[in-house]
Amino acid sequence: MRQQRLKALGDVPLRGELGGREALFRLARYLVPLWRHLLVGLILAIVWSSINLGYGVLAEMFFKEIRHQVTAGTHDVGRLNLWAALGVAVFLVRGVLYFLYNFIWSYSAQRLSQRLRDEVFAHLQNLPISFFDHRRTGQILSSISNDIPAVNAVLAAVQDAITAPILFVGGVILLFILNWKLALVSCLCLPPTAWIIVRASARARTCSARVQESLADITGHADETLSGIRVVKAFGAEDYEKGRFDRHSRDVFRSILRALRVRLVMVPTVEMLGAIALIGVLWIGGLQIIRGEGQLTVERLIFFILVLRQVADGAKNLGGISVNLSTAGVAADRVFTLLAARSDVQDPPEAIELTRVAGRVQFDRVGFAYSPGIPVLADISFTMEPGEVVALVGPTGSGKTTIAALIPRFYEATEGVIRVDGTDIRHCTLRSLRRQIGVVPQDNLLFSGTLRDNIAYGSPDAAAAEIERAARMANAWEFIERLPEGLNTMIGERGTRLSGGQRQRIAIARAILRDPRILILDEATSSLDAHSEALIQDALQKLVRDRTTLVIAHRRSTIRNADRLLVIRDGHLVETGTHTELLGRNGVYAELYSTQFRAPEPTQRALDPLLHREEAPEAVDNREQLV
């Protein structure tokens, strides 16, 4: 069954589906709240660009003053000092403007990133578990850590779109005003420059897409490997994982080099064409000055060259617009594809709020498929009465975990109806439904933080006395009070500083504090020592008391003492009854019991059963575990 599920889900890559242009148009809406900052930045950028074009006038006047004093034989240092001071003032203003408009644009870029990060993370919290079943966590993390920062390239493109036309178009006009012949020589390089920019833009988009995909792959691999580092070390697979990571790393290296090559080929090529134009201007302009043709002077030629340099910078920045838009478009495409994902488990328009329930749970001909055509459950019908303990038994992959996951609507049943106290759970708000349910999973994930934070997770307003009471009921207080910082002890990522039994007791304390009416318990204690297991069994006994409890059973003590057993095989409910009744029928359950309970359990009598009930003599069997 699990293999069918994995085959149905596959591993869907997080690739863009909107198209770069559409993604950029959508991204523009995120810039609207920043319009004041962008407007100020726009004005400052225009002024800065105008000064860049105009400071050549200052150079011309400075050299004219030098020529005048040489010709007149005067030595008026004061006038030279005045022009020098004016030059310093102009460049000081230019530097301040450069700082201000770049700071404002950078501020806007970071605000854009912050808004996208917050929206993406909030959106991820609302997506169903099926979404995460389809994708590697690393791919999603890559969208936050790599794609969102890359989106900022759109503001670099906007910034260039403001300054580059002023420098380029304004500069070309000024060149023709200064000397139309030299301007014509300069413009001979414009057609090949434009062609190079267009070609580079097309290549840049392809390269940007590959860079983002390779970054997602390496992030996904790193996350997966580090999350399972204990397995890696247990199987001595360090070299194998190094090899896999090295292959991903080479892919990143090659894809970044391709993108870098596009940019590095375009920029010097454009600059080379500009240099050819500059040499042509110097040659022709020098001839004009030597021959005395026209009104060209040395200082006017210097002015012309300074403007030509600004035109070259403008042309280069125009090329940067295309590259930056390509980078931002690819990244935005991936981000908005993630934001476009929609949950198939949502509150209906007229959803009702579930108040405190009695805990009656009814499955009415329920079916489920992770993917169309691959059913996992079919025609499941049963009822759990308030306070009843029902155990799910069956071979691995039979559908037990899926049944448990349907009650809190981690997945939506594709057929039939599930009711809580007679109300179809699809008609309730998810928040109010899950408030009635407590889940103690087999893999008890704890979060980085303190013991207090983890016990109060889901109940953040709980008082200190309530947290301590829950810890005591879960038999966790006996180790918590021995810690130097007690409940304020930091437990490390995933609770790695705690033993397996301690983590389970914290998870039980978390469920006790939530005080749910319906409890879903994936019981797994067989790997613990006898003392830890006894403490956990005692804590579970307190937890299930007076609650409707669905147990995915692993131990014979649980199945013998449950009020009722549901035997699941191949997604079907094949038998139901007590342990004694089902053994007496000599059917599927009896076969499972006789074939899968093999290991001795010498500590069983030392362990408190999940519920203290009298056992029928025929129910006592010295075998270990039902999977």
- Work out the average pLDDT over 190-218: 74
Strand partners, 364: 417
Residue 216 and residue 118 share a domain: yes
Specify the pLDDT at position 368. 93
In a domain, 594, yes or no: yes
* Strands of the sheet with 423-424, listed across from one edge: 374-384, 361-371, 415-420, 423-424
Specify the pLDDT at position 615. 37
- The domain that holds 477 is classified in CATH as 3.40.50.300
Specify the pLDDT at position 304. 86
Residue 364 and residue 326 share a domain: no
- Work out the average pLDDT over 515-535: 73
Whether the predicted pLDDT of 378 surpasses 90:
yes
Residue 230 and residue 118 share a domain: yes
Q: Determine which of 271-275, 402-406, 477-481 has the lowest per-residue pLDDT on average.
A: 271-275
pLDDT greater at residue 113 or residue 60? 113
Residue 106 and residue 157 share a domain: yes
Residue 198 and residue 281 share a domain: yes
Q: What confidence tier does 235 reach under pLDDT thresholds 50, 70, 90?
A: low
Residues, the chain: 627
Whether the predicted pLDDT of 190 surpasses 80:
no
Whether the predicted pLDDT of 353 surpasses 60:
yes
Specify the pLDDT at position 230. 64
Specify the pLDDT at position 366. 95
Whether the predicted pLDDT of 148 surpasses 50:
yes
Tell me the backbone φ, ψ of residue 428, rounded to 5 degrees: -105, 155
In a domain, 273, yes or no: yes
Residue 292 and residue 246 share a domain: yes
Specify the pLDDT at position 336. 87
Question: In whole angstroms, what is the distance from residue 424 CA to residue 314 CA?
Answer: 65
Distances (CA, A) of 435 to 201, 438, 577: 53, 8, 29
Question: In whole angstroms, what is the distance from residue 445 CA to residue 589 CA?
Answer: 32
Q: What confidence tier does 19 reach under pLDDT thresholds 50, 70, 90?
A: low
Q: How many helices (H) and strands (E) does the chain have?
A: 24, 10
Specify the pLDDT at position 385. 93
Residue 597 and residue 504 share a domain: no
Whether the predicted pLDDT of 622 surpasses 70:
no
- The domain that holds 88 is classified in CATH as 1.20.1560.10
Give the side-chain half-sphere CA count within 13 A for 622: 5
Q: What confidence tier does 365 reach under pLDDT thresholds 50, 70, 90?
A: very high
H helix or E strand, kind and range, residue 330 = helix 298-340
Residue 446 and residue 432 share a domain: no
In a domain, 5, yes or no: no
pLDDT greater at residue 616 or residue 347? 347
Q: Determine which of 4-8, 41-45, 157-161, 524-528 has the lowest per-residue pLDDT on average.
A: 4-8
Q: Over the stretch 101-129, which tens digit does the pLDDT of each residue have? A: 889 988 888 888 889 888 888 888 888 88
Q: Over the stretch 263-304, which tens digit does the pLDDT of each residue have? A: 777 777 777 777 788 888 888 888 888 887 767 888 888 888
Specify the pLDDT at position 146. 80
- Work out the average pLDDT over 129-138: 76
Among residues 318, 340, 362, the one where a domain terminates is 340
Question: In whole angstroms, what is the distance from residue 583 CA to residue 518 CA?
Answer: 28
Q: What confidence tier does 524 reach under pLDDT thresholds 50, 70, 90?
A: low
Q: Determine which of 4-18, 130-144, 234-248, 571-585 has the lowest per-residue pLDDT on average.
A: 4-18
- Work out the average pLDDT over 343-365: 86
Residue 465 and residue 420 share a domain: no
Residue 112 and residue 168 share a domain: yes
Distances (CA, A) of 252 to 445, 470, 475, 528, 544: 32, 49, 50, 43, 51
pLDDT greater at residue 556 or residue 119? 119
Look at the chain and report how many structural domains it folds into.
Answer: 3
pLDDT greater at residue 130 or residue 577? 577
Specify the pLDDT at position 617. 35
Find the domain containing 423 and state its range. Answer: 351-436+518-526+547-627
Among residues 277, 307, 340, the one where a domain terminates is 340
Predicted TM-score (pTM) of this structure = 0.71
Residue 296 and residue 236 share a domain: yes
Tokens coding 51: 């000064």
Whether the predicted pLDDT of 627 surpasses 60:
no
Name the amino acid, one letter, at 306: L
In a domain, 111, yes or no: yes
Contact by Cβ (8 Å): 523, 540: yes
In a domain, 538, yes or no: no
pLDDT greater at residue 213 or residue 608? 213
Residue 432 and residue 336 share a domain: no
In a domain, 239, yes or no: yes
Q: Determine which of 108-112, 193-197, 463-467 has the lowest per-residue pLDDT on average.
A: 193-197
Whether the predicted pLDDT of 59 surpasses 70:
yes
H helix or E strand, kind and range, residue 186 = helix 180-187
Among residues 340, 368, 402, the one where a domain terminates is 340
Q: Mean pLDDT, the chain, as a whole number?
A: 79
Specify the pLDDT at position 7. 41
- Work out the average pLDDT over 59-81: 78
Tokens coding 245: 């990571």
In a domain, 299, yes or no: yes
Whether the predicted pLDDT of 22 surpasses 90:
no
In a domain, 287, yes or no: yes
Distances (CA, A) of 469 to 294, 306, 451, 513, 515: 97, 78, 14, 8, 12
